[in-house]
Amino acid sequence: MSQTILHNPVTVLRGVGDKMAARLSDIGIRSLEDLLFHFPLRYQDRTQVTPIGGLQDQVDGLIEGEIRAAAVTMGRRRTLVVKIEDSSGLLTVRFFHFRQAQVSQFKQGSSVQLFGTPRRLGGQLEMIHPEYRLGDGGNLVETALTPVYPTVSGLGQSTWRKLCGQALTVLGNNPPEDLLANLTEDQITLHEAIAFLHNPPPTAALSEIQQGHHPAQIRLAREELIAHQLTVQGVRDTERQHRAPPIAPLSPITTAFLASLPFTPTVAQERVARELADDMSAQQPMLRLVQGDVGSGKTLVAARAALDTLSAGYQVAFMAPTELLAEQHFANLHTWFAPLGLSVTWLSGRTKGKAREAVLDKLVTGDAGIVVGTHALFQEDVRFDQLGLIIVDEQHRFGVHQRLALADKGAEDQRPHQLALTATPIPRSLAMVAYGDLDCSIIDELPPGRQPVTTTLIDHARREAVIRRVGVACSEGRQAYWVCTAIEESDTLDIEAAEATQDALSHALAGITIGLVHGKLKPTEKATVMEQFKRGDIQLLVATTVIEVGVDVPNASLMIIDNAERLGLAQLHQLRGRVGRGTINSHCLLLFRQPLSATAQQRLKVMQDSHDGFVIAEADLEIRGPGELLGTRQTGLAEFRVARLPEHEPLLIEAQALAARMYQSDPERARGLMQRWSGARADFARV
């Protein structure tokens, strides 16, 4: 009964016409329940006035003071600067966008209230564009914490507050069914928890909420994580119900291949290869993720699985997220497989016209055994004769749905085995969320003889000295990468920065051959430069971050990364993994510009102190939070509404167990939970 009322469309609320309903629907909010499960991102505390002297860097505050001065300055930007004083201190406030009328409003001696985020600039706290009320009558003080909702343009905070307020009234009279009843020990009911998060009372401890520790958050996070794990298990279950071709391990060709290698596989590679072989010998599809640090040799393990599949008469599709990485795999597999009499086919977005038709034809007839390529592989018109295995490299760059779209290309009554590889080790809790439908194998060992890379942080001011050092290294026969990023984030600017750097370096380092690669080069041009670098004809390779993954030149032992403070830890770790592949001592120099933000400083220090991908990933999660870490949109990873990682990791582990039981024993309840939480941001549910 109460369920039906909460399932009413949002149009039953006052102030919601067709136009607003459409806007809400765009972000997945259609019913009152959807609205109630759209929770504030954070809260502002406007319940009390903070003395100026008590303001903290980056912590929102409401202050009350007297205007000491107001003037327009004409620096690089026209700025209205206002000085506010109370008995505890003086605060500078800046407005970059202002009307002339505003300037005269700020009368010296009159009182003002401001709400904003103070930032420390040159030792002093400043507020930029705070909200303000002039005069004694102005009152920004609120009696409760003020929720701030995630929103889109056209839906202001006051609208959210009004709508949610109305929905809460309905909720109060019609408490929703408690789908966790008798399962957990929460003291707080579902509707109390919902009401609390939309409307925390003035007594609520903001710090507790900010850390995600409030019982209302725990109650909802638990439910959300259970719902998510149910969805993940649903995906997994659906996949497992299909039939897959059983593949016998260690075919004669695979054995011949292993014998032809100039090295022996590591113990970890052997173990993981066996895990894959076990999965693939079954009549259900393998669903496995192989995690292994940069350089741990994941490709070899994948190649073995591919060879067994080909030997059994099935096709293999090997997909990588970038053109450059796919080309590397193509070249690598070609070198390995050609002597065995197996040809490797190539398909990318740039394969066009007749060439593309020819490839599609070979795939659908089964003439092509293994195809390597990019996103182009899962396009609609790409069909296979007998697809037996898909390999997705750098799985975190793809969405779950992209892997499944490729898996859909099996023969009518069967599904291919699925192997995902990732070089970005991610903490266990995140793996459960991002790859929860996959079994996991870890290659926790690097091939012998790898050299740790010495990492040094260097101020941009010492760039000249760095250039000289590159010159010396190259003249001694070593090779180096110079990775360029622009100061602002932009692919085009990155390329410009790389071109400018190449220019500057060729002037400074006469006699050294310098190459350039970036994402906008034609594949043939890129391949030529890479080939020259591999052969040693090019000594110094200037590049954008396109070389992040896959490039393998053992003689390259020095890497410079420009504006390293701009890159995330995962990216820095990937880049650094390009050196230290040979037997020579390798160095990575991280050039940074002052001033460094606190988090940039932390990141660079982690790089200097650690080589372990897992340690770096944990640090990344702590510094940045999970959304940014994986790049939510790319992964199809649900962006949680209440749950947070790593804070709620214990809840996640418990949720996995609970979900497993509920999935079997109470499918009705499971469906209710999934539906309740499958709103706008639960992308995973819509794979």
- Interface residues toward ligand ADP, by CB under 6 A: 263, 265-266, 269, 292, 294-300, 423, 447, 552
Cα 523 from Cα 327, distance rounded (Å): 9
Cα 200 from Cα 216, distance rounded (Å): 10
- Report helix, strand or coil for 440: strand
Which residue number, 96 or 263, has a Cβ lying nearer to ligand ADP? 263
CA distances from 504 to 354, 483, 513, 525, 546 (A): 42, 14, 13, 22, 20
b/e map 454-465, b = 16+ CB within 10 Å = ebebbeeeeeee
Which residue number, 422 or 501, has a Cβ lying nearer to ligand ADP? 422
> Smallest distance, Å, CB 610 to ligand ADP?
17
CA-based R_g, the chain, Å = 29
> Smallest distance, Å, CB 302 to ligand ADP?
8
Give 240's contacts (C-beta < 8 A, 6+ positions apart).
284, 285, 287
Cα 402 from Cα 393, distance rounded (Å): 12
Cα 426 from Cα 645, distance rounded (Å): 12
Cα 656 from Cα 654, distance rounded (Å): 5
DSSP per-residue codes, 295-364: TS-HHHHHHHHHHHHHHTT-EEEEE-SSHHHHHHHHHHHHHHHGGGT--EEEE-TT--HHHHHHHHHHHH
> Smallest distance, Å, CB 382 to ligand ADP?
24
> Smallest distance, Å, CB 400 to ligand ADP?
21
Which residue number, 299 or 485, has a Cβ lying nearer to ligand ADP? 299
Of the candidates 268, 607, 623, the one whose C-alpha atom is nearest the C-alpha of residue 452 is 607
End-to-end Cα separation, the chain, in angstroms? 31
Which residue number, 118 or 292, has a Cβ lying nearer to ligand ADP? 292
Which residue number, 219 or 288, has a Cβ lying nearer to ligand ADP? 288
Pairing of strands 118-121, 124-128: antiparallel
Of the candidates 535, 497, 487, 552, the one whose C-alpha atom is nearest the C-alpha of residue 519 is 497
> Smallest distance, Å, CB 574 to ligand ADP?
9
Which residue number, 256 or 504, has a Cβ lying nearer to ligand ADP? 256
Give yes or no for a contact between 462 and 310, defined as CB atoms under 8 angstroms apart. Answer: no
DSSP bridge partners of 456: 589
CA distances from 289 to 417, 436, 529, 587 (A): 11, 10, 33, 31
- Dihedral, CA atoms, 577, 581, 587, 592, nearest 10 degrees? -20
C-beta atoms surrounding 73 within 10 Å: 10
Which residue number, 272 or 541, has a Cβ lying nearer to ligand ADP? 272
In this structure, which amino acid lies at residue 149? Y
Longest dimension (CA), the chain: 90
Which residue number, 140 or 326, has a Cβ lying nearer to ligand ADP? 326
> Smallest distance, Å, CB 440 to ligand ADP?
15
Copy the structure tokens of residue 292. 């292994």
DSSP per-residue codes, 42-68: EEE--SSPPPGGG--TT--EEEEEEEE
- Report helix, strand or coil for 524: helix
> Smallest distance, Å, CB 304 to ligand ADP?
11
> Smallest distance, Å, CB 573 to ligand ADP?
11
> Smallest distance, Å, CB 130 to ligand ADP?
48
Give yes or no for a contact between 677 and 227, defined as CB atoms under 8 angstroms apart. Answer: yes
Cα 96 from Cα 71, distance rounded (Å): 12
- Report helix, strand or coil for 395: helix
Query: Which residue reads 């990682």 in tokens?
Result: 645
> Smallest distance, Å, CB 439 to ligand ADP?
18
Copy the structure tokens of residue 593. 């510009």
> What's 542-588 look like in SS3?
EECHHHHCCCCCCCEEEEEECCHHHCCHHHHHHHHCCCCCCCCCEEE
456-446-340 Cα angle (round to 5):
125
